[in-house]
Amino acid sequence: MPSETAIDLNNNPLTLWNGPLGLPDFSRIGSGDFGPVFDAALAGHAEEIDAIAGSADAPTIENTLAALELAGDPLDRVSAIFWCMAGTNTNDAIQATEREISPKMARHFSAISMNAKLFARIDDLYQRRASLGLDPETLRVLEKTWKRFVKAGAKLDEAGKKRLAAINEELASLGAKFGQNLLADERDWVLFLDETDLAGLPEFLRNAMAEAAEMRGQKGRYAVTLSRSIYEPFTTYSERRDLREKAFRAFIGRGETGGPTDNGQVVKDTLRLRAEKAKLVGYDSFADLKLDDTMAKTPPAVLELLGPVWRKAREKAAIDQAGLERLAAAEGSNNPLAAWDWRHYQEKLRAEKFAFDEAELKPYLQLERIIEACFDVAGRLFGLSFVEKKGIAAWHPDVRVFEVRNADGSYRGLFMADHFARPSKRSGAWMSALQSGYQLGKGSTPVIYNIMNFAKAAEGKPCLLSLDEAKTLFHEFGHALHGMLTDVTWPSVAGTSVPRDFVELPSQLYEHWLTVPEVLEKHALHYETGDPMPKQLLDKMLAASTFGAGFATVEFTASAMVDMAYHSRSDAPENPLAFEAQTLERIGMPDAIAMRHRTPHFQHIFSGDGYSAGYYSYLWSEVLDADAFAAFEETGDPFNPELAEKLRRHIYAAGGSADPEELYTAFRGKMPTPDAMLKKRGLLPMMAGEEL
């Protein structure tokens, strides 16, 4: 790659996307190419910002707000490719660039936020906003932009600006380090097993473990990895308690190794800097800062939701635990129930209560068929169609590309999907965009992608999903639809650019359609016979759908409460892991259940601050999604066309163009209570008159 001074941003594969279908030409992109292009794009963006800020013309929406929104296109493009590859197919060169570019990006955007001349122009527009005759979306963008600058330090004195910029830079480095440490722990740990170690494991899991072992050079053996697609079914079905414990301790100990990948100091420094940052910009705590622009607004409002849910979940888990201990004793176990036992005996209790083994579902949940189900539902609700385009190079050979069209045949955008786990990919599942959809300027069509971490099946075998994995596929596709259906003018409110506790509504709502009987009858076909899922099995699955709700809600809500406890303090705990333990003891965490995400591997809140003081938002959005799907149920038609159109217009297409409460009320007519969510989770009180 040439030197920085020779970079032509108008003719570089990272910024000029002239590959098939308007995508980047990934065949021309190397892992070591990013650094100089980033430097040139940052410099170019800085020049654009200086031109906007230094304009001699009076501020207008066009020459200030619109110019600011459209500035930095080359930087947006190289960033989109880089962060995609950093998460999905990283290597030493990309990780080195990540460590270098994260603080540079933080420094760059801090400088923009603290540019006094630029803020003066925005502030001028903001103060005159009532007289400018703005449409509601433009007014909202102006108000959000002004507030974002203020929260980013625009009103600080020079010393305050300098300190805040340094904090942002250090936080960016810490976030990158946290994620890389965790990826290293997940990549490097593996437990190789032989045939004699596989008691209780179903065929689908044996096949996945065999493939994982072969990928790691151990053909003929079986590998337990820390991918949830292998770890969770292994600890569910393995009859070897000693091996379940080994896997559990490795999984729960990610980021807490005591070696070079230990995240303890990273967490401590992150919390300290976040607390200082909040005070600098005038907030009592980092949670107050983060919640200021959400539906919840304040930490007490979050706890008003979490508290009742926590109490009901813990009560339900205690009832279930008694049943698990009974089963363990019947098998001759004299050990207290431990966290590595819960999934194992919970599955046995499910079979006893409902004559239902979740492994029975696997043959009917083929990845290809569930993808078709996602597309089918999107077609029936929103008129979208998806056509796969073969042979297009992307960031990895596993990636698939689909052209998306509207009901009238017009082009809507591209959808890309990367389904399988590999050592170079961070764990979890997510949605993001190479390109957002908006109308400002020349406009832009969306290029949206979903990332999964399913265990790849052995050669010639279909990839079979668990019910949870199938729901994850629907969940992330719901996010993708939020990005693809966007119909707004301004880039900063396009797609998923909404408050954190609203962003999970479109994704969690979409999960409901997976278990609509007519969807399963059409798409849940046995991989060998092609027969649809038997009605008896479907009925048992639906009857058992809330089984284990106590466990699932406890492990999630504990993580949300620890997140809020960390960030609602006015200072940072001296020993975060001790504080985690104290918080769990204070709220009465059951000994036999672990947090879904312990502090040292809690990527949502420490690998960047996307969900920091915001992990609760899944539950907040679930209150909305349960109520929203109830609207369809009330009509007796899960594809009611009138409701589907309101859902498209007010939720999926509206992005952040209006206040979330306004959008939800436009769809539903009112804001919900938590009752529908508690009922959906099987936590609603059974006794009439019992208070939540």
CA distance 90 to 87: 6
**Which amino acid does the sequence have at 551?**
F
Give every CB contact of residue 137 below 8 A, 6+ residues apart in sequence.
Answer: 488, 489, 490, 493, 657, 658
Which amino acid type is present at position 350? R
Distance CA 399, CA 415 (A): 10
Asked if residues 555 and 279 have their Cβ atoms less than 8 Å apart, the reply is no
> Are the CB atoms for 517 and 532 separated by under 8 Å?
no
What token pair was written down for 126? 């903001």
Pair 236, 343: CB distance under 8 Å: yes
φ/ψ bin of 608: left (φ > 0), alpha (ψ from -120 to 50), beta (otherwise): left
Can you read off the two tokens belonging to residue 279?
Answer: 């005070």
Residue among 442, 601, 414 at smallest CA distance from 21: 414
Contact status, residue 132 vs residue 125, Cβ threshold 8 Å: yes
Active site residue 476: yes
DSSP lists the bridge partners of residue 413 as 404
| Cβ-based neighbour number of residue 397 at 10 Å | 8
Q: How many degrees, rounded to 5, is the angle at CA 470 between CA 639 and CA 358?
A: 115
H-helix or E-strand containing 402?
strand 400-405
Give 417's strand partners.
400, 450
HSE at residue 585, side-chain half, CA atoms within 13 A, is: 6
Which residues neighbour 428 within 8 Å (Cβ) at sequence distance 6 or greater? 228, 451, 453, 603
Q: What is the rounded distance in angstroms from the CA atom of residue 404 to the CA atom of residue 414? A: 6
Q: Of 441, 440, 463, 439, whose CA–CA distance to 453 is shortest?
A: 463
In angstroms, the CA 651 to CA 516 distance is 21
Residue whose structure tokens are 């979330």? 660
3-state secondary structure 89-136: CCCHHHHHHHHHHHHHHHHHHHHHHCCHHHHHHHHHHHHCHHHCCCCH
Single out the catalytic residue among 476, 504, 511, 622: 476
Lookup result for tokens 């001759």: 332
Q: What is the DSSP string of 630-672?
A: HHHHHHT-TT-HHHHHHHIIIIITTTTSS-HHHHHHHHHSSPP
Helix segments in 298-413, DSSP class H: 299-330, 342-354, 367-382
Q: By C-alpha distance, which of 275, 264, 253, 297 is closest to 565? A: 275
**Beta pairing, strands 447-454 & 411-420:** parallel
Q: Give the residue numbers marked as catalytic.
A: 476
